[in-house]
Structure 1
């Protein structure tokens, strides 16, 4: 069983790898793929010796990426990792890059239930990373995570590789990643528990505010009148009208509270 590390790109990555004293040759993931023109931004696969593993264990936040254990040789593993790099989604109509080597993306994507999980893992016996979801980052509970594939030793490379397609569950968790990132970046989320900020976001989305600017205005109102009861329905033909109605209702409710105090 060999241990490899798939590390996210950084401007000083090769210098730091050299400083660990390892002799393994780093392999650029994007080479020999449709992303070859962007090889200077490519994550790097390298066989991990003990000095590199120790550096990662001591400061995992400085080495964002994946620890991969596999009985496959480097060539087979690299071919598999390149094969799951470009994926199709939206019913196979669209194509994109899956940044699965990012600990943030991995925290959403790999734990998601999928009938294709064994195909995604392929020759990978165990995959580990340090990090978490945006919620876990906000709550300062990022940690080491790992998943195993007991059938890795029986995996055989496909005779003909077909594009990987995200299923509904995988698309849903990747959408959740984007949404939680939006909430994490919202300044108001730093002034309240993330779960509360997330609930405000979900309330806004369910009320029909699907534009980022609309959602920000909705969140700002909820924060300004935190704890105030929100009308079940927001009448109005436009988002501006519904937001104006919401603000008026929240202000009225706040005034009623002051009068009763």
Structure 2
């Protein structure tokens, strides 16, 4: 059984999810059949979906899109979804048939002279030849109709309100193994995956190194205030704990010195 949700508008950031119903379907069914059955659950005039090919499916974790289910003809059992999996369906403007090596990224072109970005545009990146910096830059440059040497790109980490530039790769050789370090954006420090946001800067009109926005500044300031508040709370708890320990170890009233006693036994005969 899958619980299906539909996400209108901006899917990846602050998505508005609407529950459209529960669906029981065989594990032998394909992803395309799942999409087709989902279209019958809750018809709405808000969404005109011509066919299942106009839907993109994600698994949900913590109420956010997580893993992209990309191959329409693949059977559900091969995705290893499990029972009661929540799935988010994203309406698309055009048909989509993703292959096993296609990665969906959210790209945003920076507005020249402003610390802001234009509307996001989905980019389908074919990683068949590898998750390399060069391949990604060429794909983005082609989509923007710009020379590859005239763009700079950065991945956005929303939980930190930070942009990490995806610089041209310099091969490094370790001293011990003498092996070239692989150019793979799936690994550290980028950990690139489906749904990630990539900021694009046009160097023909803007050449500074700043990728941030005013919203990022506010987010970082709020995080600093939160961290400061936690630090003060922890310090107060430590002071309170030390006071309790001090009182527990404080000796009580000192005992008076013992007096010597002389005991006499009388005769009462």
Regarding TM over 0.5, the answer is: no
Structure with greater proportional helix content: 1
Scaled by the length of structure 2, the TM-score of the pair is: 0.24
Scaled by the length of structure 1, the TM-score of the pair is: 0.24
Which is greater in Rg?
2
Structure with greater proportional strand content: 2
